[in-house]
């Protein structure tokens, strides 16, 4: 069933587990996410980035996800990931999305607060929940020094001010993760996470979670992470299966015989994440 993000995350926050938020941009990835959720009886957040919207078209990807979510037996939210453009956020609200991220983390704090507060007021008026970001979660490709990454981490006092002044439902925090494939092992600042959770007591979001060791994920969940964003691991599962399949069968040409097995490979990765996050059986 299609539900709001806060309906899913409030329960996770109260019961101390995390829900996977998996990015899609087409039919097969969406099918893989929904099938994984059904098979593990997990609530799930299906999310689309602005790049995903450009690739698929907002009306088309909305229709695919909403149709499958409404038919599903598990709770599913449709979420805009990293909405940096106000008008894109508004478009998603008009297309029946049940959760949006207003990502104004690149702006100075006061401007981030101002625009996020506006989105929260509008979204809440439509019964939609809101994620925002404080601190800067960059990409593993960004050439920044360790000190710069440290400086980009979320300041607990700023996070408290931000949450109070915006009324945001869940907050993405920077504690050492980054988007994309890691070169080395990411070091998460668990003390910072613990402090932020104690001070804010709302659902917290971990971006850039692909490639983070399982023990670190489990510790982050135990300290209060309730939404975990995964995209790179799914993309890499797709690409591995595709290469393997084409190497083994140079004659295959039916997209269904190519994309179907790739879909199944993505589904298996997603199921493992749902079990690792503690969401399995929580639907
Ligand atoms: O936090 C994550 C996923 O992080 P990951 O790379 O560790 O999977 N995300 O928000 C996914 C961001 C995807 O954006 P784009 O479609 O522009 O490539
Ligand atoms: Zn992200």
Write out the residue range of the structural domain in which residue 30 sits: 5-277
Residue burial 48-85, b: 16+ Cβ < 10 Å; e: rest: bbbebbeebebeebbebbbebbeebebbbbbbbbbbbe
Ligand 1 atom closest to Cα of residue 180: 6
* CA distance between the termini of the chain: 10
26 falls in which pLDDT band (50, 70, 90)? very high
The model's pLDDT over 166-212, given as tens digits with 9 standing for 90+, comes to 999 999 999 999 999 999 999 999 999 999 999 999 999 999 999 99
222 domain residue, yes or no: yes
81 is catalytic: yes
282 domain residue, yes or no: no
So what's the ipTM on this one?
0.98
**How many independent structural domains does the chain possess?**
1
> Is 13 one of the annotated binding-site residues?
no
217 domain residue, yes or no: yes
Q: What is the pLDDT of residue 193?
A: 98
283 domain residue, yes or no: no
120 three-state secondary structure: helix
Indicate the top mutation candidate among 207, 220, 227, 277 to test ligand 1's pocket, ranked by most ligand atoms within 8 A of CB. Answer: 207
Catalytic residue among 81, 155, 169, 233: 81
Ligand 1 atom closest to Cα of residue 140: 6
Question: What residues does ligand 1 touch, defined as CB less than 6 Å away?
Answer: 23, 49, 51-52, 81-82, 179-180, 207-210, 229-233
CATH number of the domain encompassing residue 92: 3.20.20.70
For the record, the structure tokens of 186 come out as 């990411």
Ligand 1 atom closest to Cα of residue 209: 7
74 domain residue, yes or no: yes
The rounded Cα 73 to chain-centroid distance in angstroms is 21
Alpha helix stretches (DSSP H) within 41-80:
50-56, 58-71
The answer to whether residues 169 and 209 touch, using CB atoms and an 8 Å cutoff, is no
Report residue 177: phi and psi, to 5°: -95, 165
> Is 231 one of the annotated binding-site residues?
yes
The model's pLDDT over 85-125, given as tens digits with 9 standing for 90+, comes to 999 999 999 999 999 999 999 999 999 999 999 999 999 99
pLDDT above 90 coverage of the chain, percent: 93
């Amino acid at each position: 069933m299609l539900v709001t993000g806060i309906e899913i995350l409030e329960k996770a926050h109260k019961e101390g587990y995390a829900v996977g938020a998996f990015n899609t941009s087409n039919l097969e990835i969406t099918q893989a996410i929904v099938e994984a959720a059904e098979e593990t009886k997990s609530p799930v957040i299906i999310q689309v980035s602005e790049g995903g919207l450009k690739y698929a078209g907002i009306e088309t990807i909305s229709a695919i996800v909403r149709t499958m979510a409404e038919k599903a037996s598990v709770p599913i939210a449709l979420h805009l990931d990293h909405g940096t453009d106000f008008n894109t956020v508004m478009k998603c609200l008009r297309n029946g999305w049940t959760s949006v991220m207003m990502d104004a983390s690149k702006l100075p704090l006061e401007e981030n607060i101002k625009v996020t507060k506006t989105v929260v007021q509008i979204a809440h008026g439509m019964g939609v929940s809101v994620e925002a970001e404080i601190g800067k979660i960059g990409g593993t490709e960004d050439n920044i020094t360790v000190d710069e990454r440290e400086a980009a981490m979320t300041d607990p006092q700023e996070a408290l001010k931000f949450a109070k002044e915006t009324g945001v439902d869940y907050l993405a925090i920077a504690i050492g993760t980054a988007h994309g494939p890691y070169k080395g092992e990411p070091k998460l600042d668990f003390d910072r996470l613990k402090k932020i959770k104690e001070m804010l007591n709302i659902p917290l979001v971990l971006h850039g979670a692909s490639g983070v060791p399982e023990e670190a994920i489990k510790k982050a969940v135990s300290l209060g992470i309730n939404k975990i964003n995964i995209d790179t691991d799914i993309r890499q599962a797709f690409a591995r299966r595709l290469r393997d399949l084409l190497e083994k069968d140079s004659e295959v040409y039916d997209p269904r015989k190519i994309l179907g097995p790739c879909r199944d490979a993505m589904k298996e990765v997603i199921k493992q994440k749902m079990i690792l996050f503690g969401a399995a059986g929580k639907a």
